[in-house]
Amino acid sequence: MSVILNYKTQKQILDEWCWAAVASSVALKYSPSSGPTQAFLASQLIDQSCSIVASSDPDAAPAVCHQDFDLQKALMRSKNWSHTFEGKLKFDTICQEIDAGRPVCCQIFWPAFERSHFITIFGYTGPKVVIGDPDKEAGVCSQDFSVFAEGYREGIWTRSYFTKPPQNSPIP
């Protein structure tokens, strides 16, 4: 079986903004005409000056904007956070969420860099998951779930974020 959600993976505007790209992409999946931009989320969660950051000129971003941030707080700000699970999910759980029209976000810890990265699973086809990675060097790919769960891009899947549409909004 195969289910792939209507989901557009945004590229992160700044190197540290995978959290903003994932939260904005999830919000736009649920509310295509009114989801918050990466810059809006950063301006609300980091510093008001981040509102001017644009993908056309990321080098002009104020220094204060170059920060990692907590995806859960960003999803809460966009009203798309349902709950968080510490660790990996089972393939069946991923499929149930996708079948219900809800993408699942994952935190990947890279020991070599001592930092985390956020991605979204928004589909499955057979034993593979469809991954949206906001990293400028990545993008959309499909990978066997067992390979993904054991080390996506040499990282460790440490946390899973369940999403939902904003209250009183149907799932498109």
Residue 28, SS3?
A: helix
pTM, to two decimals: 0.94
pLDDT in tens for each of the 172 residues of the chain? 999 999 999 999 999 999 999 999 999 999 998 889 999 999 999 999 999 888 888 888 999 999 999 999 999 999 999 999 999 999 999 999 999 999 999 999 999 889 999 999 999 999 999 999 999 999 999 999 999 999 999 999 999 999 999 986 655 5
Kindly list the distances between the CA atom of residue 101 and the CA atoms of 30, 72, 155, 163, in Å, as whole numbers in the listed order: 9, 19, 26, 10
pLDDT, residue 171, reads: 57
Q: Is 166:30 a contact under the CB 8 Å cutoff?
A: yes
The tokens describing 14, both together, are: 């700044």
Q: Are 101 and 5 in contact (CB under 8 A)?
A: yes
Note the pLDDT of residue 104: 99
pLDDT at 18: 98
Domain positions in the chain are 2-163
pLDDT at residue 169, rounded to an integer? 60
pLDDT score at 168: 64
Quote the pLDDT of residue 81. Answer: 98
Report phi then psi at 65, rounded to 5: -80, -20
Q: What pLDDT score was predicted for residue 112?
A: 87
Distance CA 119, CA 33 (A): 22
User: CATH number of the domain at 2-163, please?
Assistant: 3.90.70.10
